[in-house]
Amino acid sequence: MRIAMVSEHASPLAVLGGVDAGGQNVHVAALSSALAASGHEVTVYTRRDDADLPERLAFVDNVEVVHVDAGPATPVPKDALLPHMRAFEEELVKHWGHGRPDIAHAHFWMSGLASLGAAGRVGVPTALTYHALGSVKRAEQGHKDSSPAERCLIEAMLAQRTDRLIATSNEEIFSLLRMGARPSSTSLVPCGVDLAHFTVEGPVHARSAARRIVVVSRLVERKGIGNVIEALPSVPGAELVIAGGPPWDQLDDDVEARRLRSIAADRGVEDRVQLLGRVERADLPALYRSADVVACTPWYEPFGLVALEAMACGVPVVASAVGGLIDTVVDGVSGVHVPPRRPDELARVLRGLFAAPAQLRTLGAGGARRAGQRYSWRAVAAETVDAYRATRAKVVEVVERVG
C-alpha cells in the first residue's frame, strides 16, 4: 500500500523537546517506520521550516520525507500555520497528481484540513489522527489557549467529512462522536512504544540515595510539572529530576524553566529539584530506570507517550486520570491515577508508594507486561493498516453505490 503521511508541523526528523516538538513527531516517525517494515511504502509530507532542507530525504527504508513549501522557510509556531494550509494543500495536489497514494493519513487538525482538500481534488481516501482536540484544549487552558479561533469549527467539520478517524483513546472517541463523527468511520488505535529501545534491563542514570521522581516532558504549563514541584514539600526525602525543553545551558532563557525554578524556590525545595534540559532520546531509558516513580501529571493529555516509555522500562507511573492516560496506565496494575492539578493528592500517593517498595516493584513489572502485550509499534501498525483497508473498502462501496 502507498501511504501518504501528512504532518504539517511535526516532522519525523525534528529534534525533540521544543514547544512544538514532542509526541506527534515520535508517533509519525515510529508509525511510518513500522508500516514500512511490514511492506508498505510511506511518504511523509511536512512543512519546510529551513531553506537549506532538501525537497526529499530518505528517513528509513521505504520511508521518504518530503518538505513542502507552505509559508516562510523558517520555524513558525504551529498556532500560526493556518493561513499557510491552502498553499500546503496546493502542494499536496501537485505531488499526488504525479503519484496518487492509496490513502492519506493526516496528523493534527491543520494537516487534516490540507489533506481533505487535496484528497477531494485528486480522489484519495482520507484518515485523520487529531493528536489533540481544540475543544479540550480550550476548556482546560481558557484564555491561555493560543489556537486559532476557527480551530473547533474546522475540527468538527473534519470529524464529519474525513473518511476515517483514528482515535488514540476511548475518551477521544467520545469527544469525536459529540462532534458529529460517524461511529462506523471511527477506529481506536493507540500510540506505541519502541520495545527494543525502552527495556527493563540496561544502563541506569547516576542518582543519589534519595527517592527519585522523574518527569520527562516539554516545558509547557499544561504538562503539570509545576504541580509536581508543589507536591514535593509534602514528600520528604524525595528528589525531582525534570528532563525536557532546551539544552541545559539555555534553560535560563526559557520562560517556563524560570517559572518552574521560581515555584521550587517559593516552596523551599530548590535543592531537591533538578532541571536537566533536553535529554537525547538515546539516553532516556537510563534516566527512566533511575526513577522510583515517573510522574505524568498533565492537565489534559491526548495519549501520553512518556507513560508508555516508563512502563516499558519497568518503572511505575503516577498519572493524571485524563485522556489517553486513563487507557494506558491501569490503576493499581501499572501505576496509580491521580486527579490533575491536585498536588495534595499527588503527594499523598507518592508518600504511600515510597513507603511500600514491594508495591513499587509490582507496579513496575505490571507496566512492563502491559507495554509488551499491547503497545508494540508492530501491533499498532497492523491495527492502523486494518483501519486503512476498512476505509478503502467503504469508499469503494460508496462510489459503486452512487455510480
Report the length, in residues, of the chain: 403
Residues 160 and 249 in one domain: no
Q: How much is the pTM?
A: 0.88
Residues 28 and 174 in one domain: yes
Distance, CA of 265 to CA of 237 (rounded, Å): 17
pLDDT at 326 over 80: yes
User: What are 110-138's pLDDT values in tens digits?
Assistant: 999 999 999 999 999 999 999 999 988 88
Q: For 224-227, which contacts have Cβ atoms below 8 Å and span 24 or more sequence positions?
A: 224/297, 224/298, 224/299, 224/320, 224/340, 224/341, 225/260, 225/297, 226/259, 226/260, 226/263, 227/297, 227/340, 227/341, 227/342, 227/343, 227/346
Residues 85 and 157 in one domain: yes
The separation between the first and the last C-alpha atoms of the chain, rounded to the nearest angstrom, is 25
Report if residue 128 sits inside a domain.
yes
Residues 21 and 72 in one domain: yes
3-state secondary structure of 275: strand
pLDDT at 104 over 60: yes
Residues 125 and 226 in one domain: no
**Among 314, 256, 264, 257, residue whose Cα is nearest residue 285:** 314
**CA-CA distances (angstroms) from residue 234 to 25, 80, 222, 350, 393?**
36, 41, 22, 9, 56
Q: At 166, which amino acid appears?
A: I
Residues 164 and 42 in one domain: yes
CA 236 to chain CA centroid, Å, is: 32
CB 52 within 8 A of CB 64: no
Report if residue 198 sits inside a domain.
no
Report if residue 205 sits inside a domain.
no
Residues 332 and 294 in one domain: yes
User: What are 342-355's pLDDT values in tens digits?
Assistant: 999 999 999 999 99
Residues 157 and 220 in one domain: no
Residues 347 and 385 in one domain: no
Range of the structural domain that residue 101 is part of: 2-192+377-402
User: What are 340-392's pLDDT values in tens digits?
Assistant: 999 999 999 999 999 999 999 999 999 999 999 999 999 999 999 999 999 98
Report if residue 183 sits inside a domain.
yes
Report if residue 95 sits inside a domain.
yes
Residues 99 and 248 in one domain: no
Pairing relationship of beta strands 211-216 and 63-68 according to DSSP bridges: unpaired
Residues 231 and 338 in one domain: yes
Overall number of domains in the chain: 2
Report if residue 112 sits inside a domain.
yes
H or E, element range at 400: helix 377-402
Report if residue 201 sits inside a domain.
no
Residue 216 CB-density burial (10 A; 0-12 exposed, 13-18 middle, 19+ buried): buried
Residues 135 and 226 in one domain: no
Q: In CATH, what number is assigned to the domain containing residue 220?
A: 3.40.50.2000
Strand locations in 250-377, DSSP E? 273-277, 293-296, 317-320, 335-338
Report if residue 197 sits inside a domain.
no
